[in-house]
Structure 1
């Protein structure tokens, strides 16, 4: 199996698919019509030149780009479900429209900053401080670090389990499943249609969920190798290691997309298992949306002629 290199994410009642510097957002509007928007996105990677192509460094830029584009497309899809959105747009003057676009840009930056801070606090700092409470009971730094890592992973799984019970999130996870099924359908040499997509797997080794699990797991290994005594320095080390961890995680995920080796499959298993929480079986209408998103940016017929 050769990776198609396409990827994406679920948005509100739709799918975003990206292929290189092109991305498409397909959304099922309230009236049932599928709206598809295709745009060019160079991102941070495109602006950083050779740095964005160096192994273990490129993953940092790729992660940043995925965060920015993910929030941008999520906000775009939400516009289709805001009451009187179209009427409001028609009434806006050019100056007012420009002001609104600036406000939306700042809102996106704020959401991105909040998401990063929330993730760092909940998944990095909270487990560290919880494990520190056992310092008198567990004097071994190594055992406390392992405990911290286990707590971090448990918090991650609990968080996913809780949000997956929300009705709106369940639909988003169904679209997430449709995204994976489309990519698996293509990468296993099948024609991209509703029937073939439906019987494809909703789990994929290059999923962002697997990336996040790798970040949590690799952090345990690196923190075991770096031993500092000061509590303040331990917090600093955890923050400074995040780009390094992201870079390593990206390389493993990238390798997983091109390999079916026994070792890489073993490493991928925990992430695939957690995807059972973040993906759900989609209905055919969701699969139709996902197919349109793929076809807007990716020539799957040419890919299959070359690889199968």
Structure 2
């Protein structure tokens, strides 16, 4: 039964983005032969608006309907790791785009590496099963809103994701709207993005190994470790979140270098949202009695996001400087 469900969810995941992909391929095929007189003219002149329209109908509406049918909103979790890849290729291949080929290639490669890392972590966390469970935040809201969840989910799960995903991907549009030569700030952006992916990979791997060890201990009726405080987690309570946010701020540096300074709103809104998620996660951490006290002590001594010395180490530094 579980194998059948897994296959069904794989098919659903593969088919769901096809409406947007097929429409865009049709546009690429027809726009040059039907110029300026129909829908293809609109698609050519407004690439960013078109991306939002396709997102609204294919993700917001279509994914929402599928979520209602399945009583599970797992698709948006998976496609959070895929949509940025689709968007960077959309902007790079759009007939109205212009870009520096090196900068465009760097952006595409970085997005693919980011996506592969996050997709791998998603399936590793889900034990390589497709759609078995939805994000715990959505499950909690499902219980909270009860009978009203069917329509609230459209805004809370899908329309909000359009704001976040399109927002953080705005630099991809900027990169493919200017052919300005590469400079030192592009190098800074590249190093920032590579650093962010590295930090996030090691943080998520350390967390996965910690969770796996505890699961094994439970099966063997052995004591579990209350809290992860080694590796990157010694210096930050959420180094995986820090790495993830750093990637989008690094990508923004490409846009800032090209004069699109206003695009900071994308990573800023996303960081604010993740700040709220951080609060929710930490509330969950202290709900379980076996780890509550250990985590409260961890909160007192360890930085929230940005890796930094533990509280005791900070005190030592202050004492030496006096």
TM-score, normalised to structure 2's length?
0.24
Q: Which has the larger radius of gyration?
A: 2
Which structure ranks higher in relative contact order (CA pairs < 8 Å, sequence separation ≥ 6)? 1
Between Structure 1 and Structure 2, the one with more strand by share is: 1
TM-score (norm. length: structure 1) = 0.25
